[in-house]
Amino acid sequence: MNDFITSLRDILLYDKQSPLLFNTGLFLLLFVLFLLVYEFLSGHRKIKMIFVILFSLYFYYKSSAECCFILLGVCLFDFILGNLLGAAKSDVARRSMVAVNVIVNVGMLVYFKYFNLLLEAFASITSSDFDPLQIILPAGISFFTFRSISYIVDIYRGEMKPCTNFLNYTFYLTFFPPLLAGPVVRAKDMLPQVEKAAPATQEMISSGFFLIICGLVKKVIIADYISGNFVDRIFDNPSLYTGFENLMGIYGFTLQLYCDFSGYSDMAIGLALLLGFRFKDNFNSPFKSQSPQEFWRRWHISLSLWLRDYLYIPLGGSRTKKKWQSHANLITTMALGGLWHGASLMYIIWGVWNGILLVLHKIYKNILGIGKDDRPGFLRRLFNIFCTFNLMAFGFMFFRSESMEKVKEMLHQILFSFHADVAPQFLDGYLLIVIAIILGYALHFTPHSWFLWTQKHFSRVPYAVQALIVALIILVIIQVRSSDLVPFIYLQY
């Protein structure tokens, strides 16, 4: 009995090596129990809200231990500041409150994510010893700080009124589905749903189960498999492989990143639907894009819109009369978007690369006089998609590589040691990897109408059966996946 209690305690308490993720058996068990209690409390709104908040905090505790108190502190800080902002009459006071919110949130990001990088840079300049501090990065801090900033800025802009119910705001900021890795849900979109407290409809439940299935397939069947069995090997030692294999590794990582992150978004949106909350799509078939601009309208949509509304436009956006300033604003925004991902030069380079692509595309459109109503033919669409995809995949090489040395090795192999003749041996040695990559891209490029057709027919099945299908798929995945848990890539951001 004592052994059972000890084992149960070890499972339920914080373990850095075992976070509570959507693709784990423990989450499946806890979520089923959570749903039973959630439905039982349907007639008791306040008690149900407190229950969801407590479950969300426990979910966060399993990923970041005592950092859940930081999250609660942000909730209290936002709630008080938001109401003070709503009551303030002086524009100076209002601006000051927005500045305080930005400084506090950005200050937390700088301390937890970039402080060691700054200390290292200072040590390098002063030729002194550098001993990095042991700073624990709170999971999802980049996401909930962005949500905090958008809430205060939206109040300042008059786009929403301050939340006057602390439970409602705490529910919004701690809500577990998007907590760790997005989407970046804005208060003006979610708080009205929290206040309305409408139950999930049958359509929402069906869509939720379907998205959870899609997310699990993307994450575990495709992303995790090609990562551990192929992509990691290439990026760890690019010089040991031919240029052809390195190129396949870049294409493989591009698919892995998409399936991993969009898979998380699918599951987060699906779980929220089961609880009666509807979030906007975070991905929209980005590899079908015909330009860098379109790509960023389809990839990590919630972050792209956040950067546009709260960084690019305040910097001046494209309203400035001088085009070079507009271009500089765009590159600065994308560079900071890259830095948001972590304290690494590689993320900044990736951001700058995307900023340059966006600027070059703007210049290209202006030179050729291409407008919004331009409708290219089939062959030109294919050419545009091919070029855009390869430019983005090239950028993701910087995103994944540990250093510029690794990038140089990959480029050297691709340019000077390509060896396309190894393709038959590659196909023979990595047959299942090739099948997984082809499957992933094939599913991505299928017409959206096929997705809607499948979802429609799935929704016709009784949702008790839908829940059973989801549970069976999760159990099968748990059995066939690798013994080591593969965390979602964006959990580190």
412 is catalytic: no
Catalytic residue among 341, 412, 419, 457, which?
341
User: What CA–CA distances, in Å, run from 260 to 56, 70, 181, 332, 452?
Assistant: 22, 27, 11, 27, 21
Helix (H, G, I), strand (E, B) or coil at 485: coil
Can the peptide bond before residue 183 be classed as cis, meaning omega within 30 degrees of 0? yes
Considering only CA atoms, which of 210, 180, 175, 215 is closest in space to residue 194?
175
Q: Report residue 198 as tokens.
A: 């409408």
Can you say how many angstroms the Cα of residue 47 is from the centroid of all Cα atoms in its chain? 31
Tens digit of each residue's pLDDT (9 = 90 or more) over 4-32? 677 777 777 777 777 788 877 788 889 98
Tens digit of each residue's pLDDT (9 = 90 or more) over 382-420? 999 999 999 999 999 999 999 999 999 999 999 999 999
Give residue 62's pLDDT. 87
The pLDDT mean for the chain works out to 88
Give residue 456's pLDDT. 87
* Average pLDDT of the segment spanning 136-158: 90
In this predicted structure, the answer to whether residue 353 has a pLDDT above a threshold of 90 is yes
Q: Which residue has the tokens 């979520």?
A: 31
Q: Are 148 and 100 in contact (CB under 8 A)?
A: no
Tens digit of each residue's pLDDT (9 = 90 or more) over 255-309? 999 999 999 999 999 999 999 999 999 999 999 999 999 999 999 999 999 999 9
In this predicted structure, the answer to whether residue 55 has a pLDDT above a threshold of 90 is yes
Considering only CA atoms, which of 364, 486, 446 is closest in space to residue 17?
486
Share of the chain above pLDDT 70, in %: 96
The pLDDT confidence band at residue 336, using thresholds 50, 70 and 90, is very high
In this predicted structure, the answer to whether residue 1 has a pLDDT above a threshold of 90 is no
Number of other residues whose CB lies within 10 A of the CB of residue 411: 15
The pLDDT confidence band at residue 484, using thresholds 50, 70 and 90, is low
**Rounded to an integer, what distance in angstroms lies between the CA atom of residue 350 and that of residue 338?**
6
User: What CA–CA distances, in Å, run from 208 to 212, 279, 443, 459?
Assistant: 6, 11, 19, 10
In this predicted structure, the answer to whether residue 326 has a pLDDT above a threshold of 80 is yes
Q: Are 356 and 390 in contact (CB under 8 A)?
A: no
In this predicted structure, the answer to whether residue 195 has a pLDDT above a threshold of 60 is yes
For every residue of 267-279, which 3-state class applies, written as one string? Answer: HHHHHHHHCCCCC
In this predicted structure, the answer to whether residue 196 has a pLDDT above a threshold of 70 is yes
The pLDDT confidence band at residue 2, using thresholds 50, 70 and 90, is low
Domain ranges of the chain: 14-197, 203-290+376-492
**Rounded to an integer, what distance in angstroms lies between the CA atom of residue 492 and that of residue 138?**
9
User: What CA–CA distances, in Å, run from 39 to 138, 200, 219, 231, 423?
Assistant: 31, 11, 29, 43, 55
In this predicted structure, the answer to whether residue 482 has a pLDDT above a threshold of 60 is no
Q: Report residue 145 as tokens.
A: 């700080």
Give residue 288's pLDDT. 95
Q: Are 388 and 291 in contact (CB under 8 A)?
A: yes
Q: Are 178 and 143 in contact (CB under 8 A)?
A: yes
**Rounded to an integer, what distance in angstroms lies between the CA atom of residue 329 and that of residue 341?**
19
User: Phi-psi region for residue 439, left (φ > 0), alpha (ψ -120 to 50) or beta?
Assistant: alpha
Q: Report residue 80 as tokens.
A: 């008080």
The pLDDT confidence band at residue 176, using thresholds 50, 70 and 90, is very high
Give residue 492's pLDDT. 67
The pLDDT confidence band at residue 480, using thresholds 50, 70 and 90, is low
In this predicted structure, the answer to whether residue 94 has a pLDDT above a threshold of 90 is yes
Considering only CA atoms, which of 257, 310, 303, 255 is closest in space to residue 281?
303
Q: Report residue 150 as tokens.
A: 């958008």
H helices of 321-460, in order, are 323-340, 345-368, 378-400, 404-416, 423-429, 431-445, 448-459
DSSP per-residue string spanning 213-240: HHHHIIIIIIIIHHIIIIIHHHHH-GGG
Q: Where are the beta strands (DSSP E) in 156-245?
A: none
DSSP secondary structure letter of residue 343: S
Query: What type of residue sits at position 109?
Result: L
Is pLDDT larger for residue 446 or for residue 19?
Answer: 446
**Rounded to an integer, what distance in angstroms lies between the CA atom of residue 358 and that of residue 333?**
11
Q: Are 333 and 348 in contact (CB under 8 A)?
A: no
* Average pLDDT of the segment spanning 70-98: 93
**Rounded to an integer, what distance in angstroms lies between the CA atom of residue 39 and that of residue 464?**
14
Q: Are 78 and 172 in contact (CB under 8 A)?
A: no
Q: Where are the beta strands (DSSP E) in 224-368?
A: none
Give residue 149's pLDDT. 94
Residue 412's contacts (CB-CB under 8 Å, 6 or more residues apart) are: 239
Number of other residues whose CB lies within 10 A of the CB of residue 49: 18
**Rounded to an integer, what distance in angstroms lies between the CA atom of residue 82 and that of residue 86?**
6
Residue 371 phi, psi dihedral angles, 5° rounding: -105, 180
Give CA torsion, residues 95, 99, 101, 103, to 10 deg: 180
